[in-house]
Amino acid sequence: MVFERYVEVGRVALVSCGPYKGKVCAIIDVIDQNRALVEGPSTKQGEEGVPRQAIRFKLLQLLPYKIKIAHTTRSKALKSAWDKESISTKWTTSIVCQKLDARKRRQLLTDFDRFKLMKTKQRRQRLIRLCMGPKPKDKANK
Amino acid sequence: MKCRGDLRKYVVVGRELPNPKVPVPKMYKMTLYAPDYVTAKSRFWYFTRQLNKVKKTRGEIVQCDRVFEHGNQVKNYGIWLRYNSRSGTHNMYKEYRDLTSCGAVTQCYREMGGRHRARANAIHVIRIEEVAAEKTRRPPIKQFHNSKLAFPLARRVNRKLHTPRFTTARP
């Protein structure tokens, strides 16, 4: 099995657990077998990034993005390398990010929102059925 | 001492109380690692008592301040320690990679407990020093001194296999 995503300086990773869950950061240095020094600029407006800290690899999910930085770069240099590769855009338009956001939104739905969702789905299905026309009777199952 | 949580670095200065024989006693300063300032003072007296003719009852703590460390860079720490095993007392030199010396010392206590069953009260950290990469001696530390270090996270086990064990939703 060939590995494609490696833990290396500059690898972008998603934090899957803890106070910075769902946020994206870059590996600045490898501390030891279990931990990396990471830092992540904010990807969305109004949202904070991941401050510089040690995180265990168990809590990180490596992403297919990489930025070019030297080990233990300072925050400014990290941010300019991050923007150069437009990691924020790549991440927010990726399917994984969109699915995570959708999951979060679904969790925060109120009962009224779920009712509205049901009604919208119904309306959508009705329109689709009108477009498709009546279902033709299957010749095999007469 | 109990190595509770992350250890903190304290600077403790103490001296014998002034008395007619010694109107201006010598001050003794120690930098040590303890979970809180109470344990720090206690350990200060423990070590000072072993090295000098002064006890807590005849002395006073002049200063017990916490030393804060900022952890922005990964450093290699060499720790010289002495510990009591079941059959004797031994010296050791161990190396750790961490952001702060407190983190390294905490790692050391945990490792000593795991590898040698040494309890915290049986361990004396003699000296801790930040070591340059070229001067490190241990292969597990030296292996990280590679600017092009890259390794995959192989064998990612699903730790949430049984949370929940039974469910009504299809996975």
pLDDT in tens, A38-79: 999 998 888 899 999 999 999 999 999 999 999 999 999 999
pLDDT computed for residue B158 by the predictor: 85
Section A107-124 average pLDDT: 96
Q: A60 contacts in B (CB within 8 Å)? A: 153
pLDDT computed for residue A36 by the predictor: 96
CA-nearest residue of chain A to B158?
A58
Using DSSP's 3-state secondary structure scheme, residue B77 falls into strand
What does residue B82 show for φ and ψ, rounded to 5 degrees? -135, 130
By the CB < 8 Å criterion, does B149 face chain A? Answer: yes
- What pTM did the predictor assign? 0.88
pLDDT in tens, B2-47: 899 999 999 999 999 999 999 999 999 999 999 999 999 999 999 9
pLDDT in tens, B112-164: 999 999 999 999 999 999 999 999 999 999 999 999 999 999 988 888 888 88
B73 → closest Cβ in A3, A6, A72 = A72
pLDDT computed for residue B142 by the predictor: 97
Of B155 and A95, the structure prediction assigns the larger pLDDT to A95
Cβ(B143)–Cβ(B43) below 8 Å: no
Distance CA B136, CA B142 (A): 7
CA-nearest residue of chain B to A2?
B152
**Interface pTM, i.e. ipTM:** 0.85
Share of chain A above pLDDT 70, in %: 96
Q: A54 contacts in B (CB within 8 Å)? A: 71, 99, 103
Section B77-102 average pLDDT: 97
Label the pairing between strands A50-56 and A35-40.
Answer: antiparallel
**Which of A32, A34, A37, A71 is the best residue to mutate to test the B interface, defined by the most B CB atoms within 10 Å of its own CB?**
A32
Q: Label residue B170 by pLDDT band (50, 70, 90).
A: confident
Distance CA A22, CA B53 (A): 58
- Structural element, H or E, at residue B103: helix B101-116
Mean residue pLDDT of chain A comes to 93
Does pLDDT of A142 surpass 60?
A: no
pLDDT computed for residue A139 by the predictor: 61
Which pair of tokens denotes residue B161?
A: 């296999």
Q: Would you call A72 and B154 a contact, using CB atoms and an 8 Å cutoff?
A: no
